[in-house]
Structure 1
Amino acid sequence: MDGNYNGTADLLPTPSTESPSTLQPIYTYPELVFCAVGFSILIVLTLSGNSLVLVAVARTKKLQNVTNVFVVNLCVSDCLSGFAFLWSVPGMVSTTAGYPLRSEVLCAMWAALVYLGVGSGLYSLGNIALNRCILVTRPMETYQWLYTPKKTALMILGSWLVPLSATIIPPLSAVGGLGFDTDSRTCTDIDARPRAAMFDRILFFVFYPLPLVMIVVSYVLIWQHIRRHFKTYRKSVRQRMQASTAMPSTTTLDMDLEDSCPGTPPVTPRLRHAVSSRQLTRTKNDQLEITKNLFVVVLAFVVCFTPLGVMVVIDSNRYQLFAGMVLFVSGCINPIIYATKHPHFRPVLRSMLRRRCQTE
C-alpha cells in the first residue's frame, strides 16, 4: 500500500507543517481490513439495536417519561456516530491516495458528526446516572422541580452544544483539524495538522472526565442510599421479630401479613420467623443484584471509553483504531444495559421481536 497520501481535508484551510513524504501509514493493510469489517459489524448492530429502542419508545406510551428522554438521546447519539463513521470504512479498505469517495469536505463533516455523537452519548450517560440518582436519593418534590420539560430540554441541548463546541471551535482557531487522516485512513482529526495533539486532549478533557465523575458519583450515592435503606429495613424486621416473641397478641408484622393476605389463618411464631427469614434473604439478594447491575454499568463505561482516552493522553496513534472499535462496542451494549433490562422495556422489545420473526 502506498504510504504517500495526498489531499486531506479539514475544517480549517491551513497547510500542514509536514511534507507528504513524511506521512507513513501506521497500520498494515490486513489490520485496516480487519478494522473495517469489525467496525461494519458493530455499526450494523448499533443502528439496529438503538433503532429498535427508539421505535419502542415511540410506540409505547408507558415508555415516554423523563428518564427515557435521556435514553432516547443516547440512542440517537449512538446512531449518529455509527452512521457517520460508516463513511470511513471505504477509506480503510481502499488503496488509493486520499479519501476514495472524492468528497473530502464531506469526510470532514462525517468526522465532526462522529465526535458530536460520541460526546453527546457520553453526556447522555452522565444525565441518565444523575437522573436515577435524584430519583432514588432525593424527595419526589426535588425530582419534579429539577426535571420539568424546559429544564430537561436544556439538559439535552447542553449534551449536544458542549461536544459541538469542542469539535468545531479548536479547528477554527488553528488547533488541529478534521478530515481524512492518512495514518488511520479514516475521517477523523488529522494528526499532521498544527497542534493536533492539543486538539486530541481538548476533546478528551471535554468529553470524558465530567460524564465519568457524574456516573461514578451518582451510582455510589445510589448504592449508599440503598445500603442505608436495607440496614434500616433489617433493623425494623428484627425489632418486629423481638416484639412478636415478647407479645403473644397480634403484632405489627401480623397485621402487615393479614393486610397483604386477607383471609389467611392466624400467624404463628414459626410462620413469622419463616417469613422474616425469607424477607432477610430476599433483601440480601436484592442488594447484591442492584450492586451487580451498578457495577456492570460503571464497568461498561470504563472499559469502552478508557482505552481510547489513554491512547489520546499518551499521544499514541498506533492502537487508536483498535481502541475506537472498543468504543463502538458501547453503542451495542447500551440498549441492553439501559433498555432491555428495564421491566417496561423488556416486554415491549420482546413483543416487537416476536412479531418481526413471525412476519419473516
Structure 2
Amino acid sequence: MMQTLDEAELCFPQLLNSSCRKPTRPRSGVTLFYFLSLISVLTTALNLLVIISISHFRQLHTTTNLLLLCLAVSDFLVGLVVMPADIILADNCWFLGDLVCAVYYLLPFIIVSASAESMVLISVDRYVAICYPLHYPNKVTLKRVRVCVCLCWIYSLIISIVILYDHLKKPGRYNSCHGECVFDIAGDVDLVLNFIIPIFIIIILYMRVFMVAVSQARAMRSNIAAVTLQRSLTVTAKRSELKAARTLGIVVAVFLMCYCPYYCMALTGGKIMIGSSAEAFMGFLMYFNSCLNPVIYAFLYPWFRKAVRLIVTFQIMQPDSCEANIL
C-alpha cells in the first residue's frame, strides 16, 4: 500500500528511480492560482482592446500609436501565453519533453525582451518629437516605424537565443529528474542586453525630453514663443507632443518600477532560486506590467476610452466604423 501511494506521488510511476515527485499546492496556493488566472485574463482582454482600437480606427494610425501597438502585442502575448504557462508549470509535472521545455522558456524571453525594446522605441519617438519637432514628420514615418518594429522582434529573438543558448543546445541538461523543466541562462548577457542598455537609453532620452519640456514651459509663461503665427502654431503642436510625452513617460516609469527589482537583484550580485517565492514575486511583477499599460491608457487617453465604448457595444461592426471620429 505504501509503495502504491509513493508511486501515485510520482510524475512517471514507471520510472521509480528517476521520476520527479508531483508538486503539492498549499491551501493558500489555491487563492493565488485564481488570482493569477484573473490577472492573466485581464491582461489578455485589455491589451486585445488596445490592439483592436489602434488597428481598426484610421485616425489612430499614427507613428506613436504603431509603437503602442507593438507594445500591446507583446503584452497581449504575456497574458495569453506566458502567464498561463507559468501557472500550469507551477502545479504540474512536465510531460511535454525536453525540446518543448526549451521552446517554452524561449517564448517568454522573446516576448519580455520585445516589451523592453518597445519602450526604447517609444522613448526615441518622444525624443525626436520634442527635441526636433520640425523634422519629426520627415524623420519618423510609418514605413520607418514598421521597419523598426520588425527589427525590434528580430533583435529580441536573437538575444533570447544567445541568453538560452546552452539550454537550447542540449535541452534537459539541467533537469535533475524526469518531469522537471528547469533552465540556466547567460545572466550577464541578459542583464546587459535586456536591462542596462535599454534603461540607459531610456533615461538619457527622457532626461533630454524633460529639459526641453522645462525650457518650453518657461518660454510659454514668458510669452517668448508667440511672436509670429508660425511660432504660435509650433507652440500649439509642441503642447500636444509634451502631453503625449508625459503620458508615455508614466508608461516608461511604471515599466522601470516593475522590471527593476528582478534585474537590480542580479546587478548587485544576488542570486534568485528558480521556484522560490522571491523569484515568483519578481516574475509576476514583470508580467503585471503588461496588465498595467492598458489601464494607464484608459485613464490618460480619451481616444482609448471612446474606442473601447465603440468596441464593447459592437458599433465597430457597422459599415465605415473605421472612419469614426475618435480624437
Q: Which residue of 1 aligns with 2:305?
A: 346
Q: Which residue of 2 aligns with 1:127?
A: 121
For the residues of structure 2 that align with 1:324 and 1:92, how far apart are their CA atoms?
13
For the residues of structure 1 that align with 2:219 and 2:108, how far apart are their CA atoms?
47
Select the residue among 90, 93, 105 that pairs with 2:91. 93
For the residues of structure 2 that align with 1:180 and 1:342, how far apart are their CA atoms?
48
The question of whether the paired residues in 2 share the 8 Å contact of 1:308 and 1:323 is answered with: yes
For the residues of structure 2 that align with 1:334 and 1:80, how far apart are their CA atoms?
14
For the residues of structure 2 that align with 1:84 and 1:324, how far apart are their CA atoms?
14
- The within-5 A match list for 1:284-295 is 293=247
The question of whether the paired residues in 2 share the 8 Å contact of 1:166 and 1:206 is answered with: yes
The question of whether the paired residues in 2 share the 8 Å contact of 1:120 and 1:159 is answered with: yes
The question of whether the paired residues in 1 share the 8 Å contact of 2:23 and 2:90 is answered with: no
Q: How big is the shift at 1:310? A: 2.9
Change (3 A) 1:179 1:167: farther
The question of whether the paired residues in 1 share the 8 Å contact of 2:102 and 2:168 is answered with: no
1:203 alignment partner AA: D
**Percent identity at matched positions?**
20
Q: Which residue of 2 aligns with 1:277?
A: none
Q: Which residue of 2 aligns with 1:73?
A: 70
Deviations 1:161-214 (A, max 9, x none): 22211221344457997779879xx99761xxxxx3x52332232111222223
Q: Does 1:84 align with 2:81?
A: yes
Q: How big is the shift at 1:35? A: 5.0
Change (3 A) 1:30 1:211: farther
Q: Which residue of 2 aligns with 1:307?
A: 261
SS of the residue corresponding to residue 208 of structure 1 reads helix
Q: How big is the shift at 1:105? A: 2.9
Q: How big is the shift at 1:292? A: 7.0
Change (3 A) 1:174 1:323: closer
Answer with 128-137 or 24-33: which moved more: 24-33
> Unaligned regions of 5+ residues in structure 1, if any?
8-18, 191-195, 241-251, 253-285
For the residues of structure 1 that align with 2:192 and 2:260, how far apart are their CA atoms?
12
TM-score by length of 2: 0.71
Q: Which residue of 2 aligns with 1:13?
A: none
Q: How big is the shift at 1:149? A: 3.9
SS of the residue corresponding to residue 148 of structure 2 reads helix
For the residues of structure 2 that align with 1:137 and 1:88, how far apart are their CA atoms?
42
For the residues of structure 1 that align with 2:74 and 2:244, how far apart are their CA atoms?
27
2:74 alignment partner AA: S
Q: Does 1:140 align with 2:134?
A: yes
Q: How big is the shift at 1:41? A: 2.0
Q: Does 1:48 align with 2:45?
A: yes
Q: How big is the shift at 1:24? A: 10
SS of the residue corresponding to residue 96 of structure 2 reads coil
Q: How big is the shift at 1:73? A: 0.8
Deviations 1:275-334 (A, max 9, x none): xxxxxxxxxxx9x98897566334311221112213444222231111111111111111
For the residues of structure 2 that align with 1:144 and 1:72, how far apart are their CA atoms?
19
CA RMSD of aligned residues (A): 4.2
Q: How big is the shift at 1:75? A: 1.1
Q: Which residue of 2 aligns with 1:261?
A: none
Change (3 A) 1:337 1:162: same
The question of whether the paired residues in 1 share the 8 Å contact of 2:102 and 2:171 is answered with: yes
SS of the residue corresponding to residue 236 of structure 1 reads coil
For the residues of structure 2 that align with 1:5 and 1:308, how far apart are their CA atoms?
32
Q: Which residue of 2 aligns with 1:321?
A: 280
Change (3 A) 1:78 1:157: same
For the residues of structure 2 that align with 1:202 and 1:54, how far apart are their CA atoms?
31
Change (3 A) 1:306 1:222: same
For the residues of structure 2 that align with 1:202 and 1:25, how far apart are their CA atoms?
33
The question of whether the paired residues in 2 share the 8 Å contact of 1:35 and 1:325 is answered with: no
The question of whether the paired residues in 2 share the 8 Å contact of 1:84 and 1:111 is answered with: no
Structure number, greater radius of gyration: 1
